[in-house]
């Protein structure tokens, strides 16, 4: 049987750091409130000249280097993003051209903060089919572009960035299981309810969220889907070395780990210095812990995302 395995990770954060104090200078908020309610101390914000494909390019190059792969080795590119450079072509096609990976399949996945888990699960299935051997899977976002910078309830939460993995065909797993879920009846809880039509923006181009409902829903489904992914692999809670959750709010991370019965020392936390980078948050967190020597070869990872749609999912893998 063909398996798929993560062969290298990479990430990129734009250099500009925005601290909580920058918000409190012009909005009714404070560093203390933001830290206490979210755990966020700072986030990175992309320069106006940078699109998601530019961030994805830097993350992708780092992942290729870590995997010892060349752009021409890649036969599948999947970019998870809700902030693409254009309506079309896809960010994955733009990334392909920038990387110089010719002729391979390239497409975007739109599952908001679950996007990376969706993309990784899709790439795993493509590789297991035998038709693809080496995939570049990227989460890349410039959420700063879809925020109302005067809405204190949302603008303090998000940041920009990109993370990537190279997923290769392998004799041994690798990815043991993945579970993907969605429920479109909850679309109003978290959305950017606008579109472009006839040269005009119809609806709103800004992120809207019922924060406390999202919070409760996230903890509930992350617990359920994490257990499902482990059960599908014949594994239990004790078989998790690292819980790599979508980094939305440190209180969501803590509550989910507690509900799953996973001790805090196994919980990956980067939301404090990245903010919520949507589809980029899991591969960004993964790369940071790998490069710090904390996640090592052979460690078992439970990766889980939840976000707009609503969408959620989990991937259980040996690194």
Any contact of residue 190 with ligand UT7 (CB under 6 A)?
yes
Q: Nearer Cβ to ligand UT7, position 84 or 307? A: 307
Binding-site size for ligand UT7 (CB under 6 A) equals 22
Question: Phi/psi of residue 154, each to 5°?
Answer: -125, -35
CB of 20 to ligand UT7, least distance (A): 9
Residue 93 CA to residue 117 CA, distance in Å, equals 20
Q: Are 128 and 3 in contact (CB under 8 A)?
A: yes
In Å, how far are 83, 205, 305 from 310, measured between CA atoms?
17, 18, 11
Query: Greatest CA separation found in the chain?
Result: 58
- In DSSP notation, 152-203 reads HHHHTTB-EEEEEEEEEEESS-SEEEEEEEE-GGGGGGEE--EEEETTEEEE
Q: Are 127 and 135 in contact (CB under 8 A)?
A: yes
176 catalytically annotated: no
Binding mask 290-309 for ligand UT7 (x = CB under 6 A): -----------------x--
Site for ligand UT7 in 32-91 (CB under 6 A): 33-34, 37-38
93 catalytically annotated: no
Of 44, 155, 186, 276, which one is the catalytic site residue?
276
Site for ligand UT7 in 105-124 (CB under 6 A): 113
Give the residue at shortest CB distance from ligand UT7.
211
| E strand intervals along the chain | 3-12, 17-19, 42-44, 76-80, 105-109, 134-142, 160-170, 175-182, 190-191, 194-197, 200-203, 208-209, 242-245, 300-307, 311-318
Any contact of residue 29 with ligand UT7 (CB under 6 A)?
yes
Any contact of residue 156 with ligand UT7 (CB under 6 A)?
yes
Any contact of residue 18 with ligand UT7 (CB under 6 A)?
no
Task: For residue 26, count CB atoms less than 10 angstroms from its CB and return exposed for 0-12, middle for 13-18, buried for 19 or more.
Answer: exposed
Site for ligand UT7 in 204-243 (CB under 6 A): 209, 211-212, 214-215, 218
Of 44, 176, 246, 274, which one is the catalytic site residue?
246
Q: Nearer Cβ to ligand UT7, position 69 or 117? A: 117
104 catalytically annotated: no
CB of 269 to ligand UT7, least distance (A): 14
Active site residues: 113, 246, 276
Give the residues lining the site for ligand UT7 (CB under 6 A): 29, 33-34, 37-38, 113, 152-153, 156, 190, 209, 211-212, 214-215, 218, 246, 248-249, 252, 276, 307
């Amino acid at each position: 049987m063909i398996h798929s395995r993560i062969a290298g990770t990479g990430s990129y954060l734009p250099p500009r750091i925005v601290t909580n104090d920058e918000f409190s200078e012009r909005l009714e908020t404070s560093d203390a409130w933001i830290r206490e309610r979210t755990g966020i101390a700072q986030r990175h914000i992309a320069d106006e000249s940078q699109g998601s494909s530019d961030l994805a390019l830097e993350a992708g190059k780092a992942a290729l280097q870590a995997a010892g792969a060349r752009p021409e080795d890649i036969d599948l590119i999947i970019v998870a993003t809700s902030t693409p450079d254009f309506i079309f072509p896809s960010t994955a096609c733009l990334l392909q051209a920038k990387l110089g990976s010719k002729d391979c399949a390239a497409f975007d996945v739109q599952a908001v903060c679950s996007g990376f888990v969706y993309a990784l699960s899709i790439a795993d299935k493509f590789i297991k089919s035998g038709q693809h051997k080496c995939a570049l899977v990227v989460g890349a976002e410039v959420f700063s572009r879809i925020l109302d910078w005067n809405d204190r309830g949302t603008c303090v939460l998000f940041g920009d960035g990109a993370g990537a993995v190279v997923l290769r065909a392998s004799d041994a797993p690798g990815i043991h299981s993945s579970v993907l879920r969605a429920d479109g009846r909850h679309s109003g809880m978290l959305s950017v309810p606008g579109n472009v039509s006839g040269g005009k923006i119809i609806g709103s181009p800004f992120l809207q969220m019922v924060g406390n409902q999202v919070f409760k829903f996230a903890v509930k489904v992350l617990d359920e889907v994490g257990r499902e992914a482990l059960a599908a692999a014949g594994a239990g809670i004790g078989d998790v070395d690292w819980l790599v959750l979508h980094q939305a709010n440190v209180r969501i991370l803590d509550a989910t780990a507690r509900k799953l019965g996973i001790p805090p020392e196994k919980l990956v936390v980067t939301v404090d210095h990245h903010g919520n980078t949507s589809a980029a948050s899991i591969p960004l967190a993964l790369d940071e812990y790998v490069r710090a020597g904390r996640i090592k070869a052979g460690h078992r990872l439970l990766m889980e995302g939840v976000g707009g749609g609503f969408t959620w999912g989990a991937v259980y893998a040996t690194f």
